[in-house]
Amino acid sequence: MSEYGMTHWPDADDILARLDNLVKQPMRRIRPDRLAGYTQWFDTRCAGSKALNEEARKFIPGGVQHNLSFNHPFPLAYTRAEGAYLWDVDGNQYIDFLQAGGPTMLGSNYAPVRAKVLELLEHCGPCTGLFHEYELKLAELVSRHMPSVEMFRMLGSGTEAVMAAIRAARTFTDKAKVIKVGGAYHGWSDQMVYALHIPGTGAMEAVGIPRGCNKDTLEFFPNDLEALAALLDKNEDKGGTACVIVEPFGPESGTRPNRKDFNHKVRELCDAHGSLMIFDEVVTGFRVGMGGAQGYFGIKPDLTTFGKCIAGGYPAAGGLGGRRDVMSVLAAGVESGKARAYVGGTLSANPLSCVAGYWSLIETERTQACQKAGRAGDLLAKGIQDIFDRKNLPFVAWNHGSIVHLETSGAMLVDIMNPDALGEATSRKHMMEQMGMAYTAEGIITIAGSRLYTSLADTDEVVEAALAGFERAFSSIEGA
């Protein structure tokens, strides 16, 4: 078995052409009678969740605390998660392809890791604010699997990891500009809420963020290496580019997939301009394989950001690793008296996160979770695309190993140059939410109706049951 959970690299041009075809067509929605049936299912089968949500709306803005819980027609409340399954307060059971948004490669609440966490809690509790041996064990383990990570620092979240990476890059290079790919998600820090979700949207989503915070953030369109080269050239006259940050599979975990040579070309351009290359492996790290996307592509980034799998589904999940000389700016004040790039966090690197991360990674390697989840991803993507083909639907399914994409509306793929792009994106997003509702009623939890993460827990039996649920959901589409 290969070390990576990727049996093939999807043909980006083919997928992009099919997605383009999807967004150029009128939407193929759920038929009104079936939609009414799904709505009724929620009202009758999920009454407990509905009541909780109504109460929560009085105290919690929007009634939920997590973007991925804003589900249509109302968010469900869950009481139990185990392996490949979730159970809500009303006792309904679902196949869980949200997997907490990606961190649980071993499936939810994996018992051997839980046992190690409980053992630590018995002895020292979750946090002391002081050094614990598991910090070292985790840092060594990450470095062993990803040799570009000569030094590692554990942080509170992927957002914090990206903040720290950019600060370190600016300190080390003494340059200000940061370049990202339009549509990519790198967390919600002031400087990164720029060109979110849809390429070309610049500061559109930067509500409540003073322009000064992201004036040095620049975007280029996915796969457009000429545009990146031009930006890097232009920045040379303006003090230079500190770093280029990429999601290695493409914006939004490959929703607009990168061509296979993209990352290599970015590496070359960064070297030519003295800019650091940051791999945002918050999603791909320890999901694609133990060596991450960088191992899969054979690339050595200067800095790597981690989140999600780094703490195995336990809080708090963030980390930054990379070149010794660059990482050293985070400790400069301590080690050399030089100015240091400040990072902090009361709960950063707490023993609970580190023990959970360490044992999750050990178990991920031992069980070959990345490879097994990747195989489940292959079966799922192929099975879903077969349903589309049989039903003559223009929808598109593909996967990067255990990251499965399922585009029925193309909400995030509208062309921003189209004068009605935002109106179009809004109605397509609504359709995507309705699809998410249909999947849920058919017993499947997805990420916002358009992405699925598989895990070690996804046996052939689980995938088969999921495909049967998808078959029922897609039978509800107009003309299917």
- Applying CB under 6 A, the residues found at the interface with ligand PLP are 157-159, 162, 185-187, 247, 280, 282-283, 307, 317-318
Shortest Cβ 128–ligand PLP spacing (Å): 23
Asked if 384 and 470 count as a contact pair (C-beta separation under 8 A), the reply is yes
Q: Pairing relation of β-strands 93-96 and 444-445?
A: parallel
Minimum distance, C-beta of residue 318 to ligand PLP, in the bound complex (Å): 6
Strand ranges for 344-441 from DSSP E: 396-400, 403-407
β-strand partners of 272:
none
CA distances to 11, 24, 428, 443 from 28, rounded to whole Å, are: 25, 12, 10, 22
Q: Given the complex with ligand PLP, which of 187 and 436 has the nearer CB atom? A: 187
Residue 100 CB, nearest distance to ligand PLP (Å)?
Answer: 11
To the nearest whole angstrom, how small is the minimum distance from the Cβ of residue 291 to ligand PLP? Answer: 17
Q: Which is nearer to ligand PLP, 170 or 308 (CB)?
A: 308
Bridge pairing between strands 403-407 and 396-400 = antiparallel
Q: Residue 64 corresponds to which tokens in the numbers above?
A: 């939920």
User: Residue 287 to residues 167, 195, 247, 322: CA-CA distances in angstroms?
Assistant: 26, 25, 14, 19
The nearest distance, CB 168 to ligand PLP, in angstroms, is 16
For residue 407, the SS3 value is strand
Between residues 46 and 105, which has the closer beta carbon with respect to ligand PLP? Answer: 105
Identify the burial level of 54 via C-beta atoms within 10 angstroms of its C-beta, where 0-12 means exposed, 13-18 middle and 19 or more buried: exposed
Q: Based on CB atoms, which residue is closest to ligand PLP, 292 or 469?
A: 292
String of DSSP letters for 234-295: HHHTTT-EEEEEE-TT-HHHHTSPPPTTHHHHHHHHHHHHT-EEEEE-TTTBTTTBTTHHHH
Between 92 and 255, whose beta carbon lies closer to ligand PLP? 255
Closest separation between CB of residue 235 and ligand PLP, Å? Answer: 23
In angstroms, give the least distance from the CB of 28 to ligand PLP.
28
- Closest approach, Cβ 477 to ligand PLP, in A, equals 29
Pair 153, 319: CB distance under 8 Å: yes
Q: Which is nearer to ligand PLP, 84 or 184 (CB)?
A: 184
Strands (E) located in 4-146? 78-82, 85-88, 93-96
Query: By C-beta, is 159 or 263 nearer to ligand PLP?
Result: 159
Choice between 206 and 473, CB closer to ligand PLP: 206
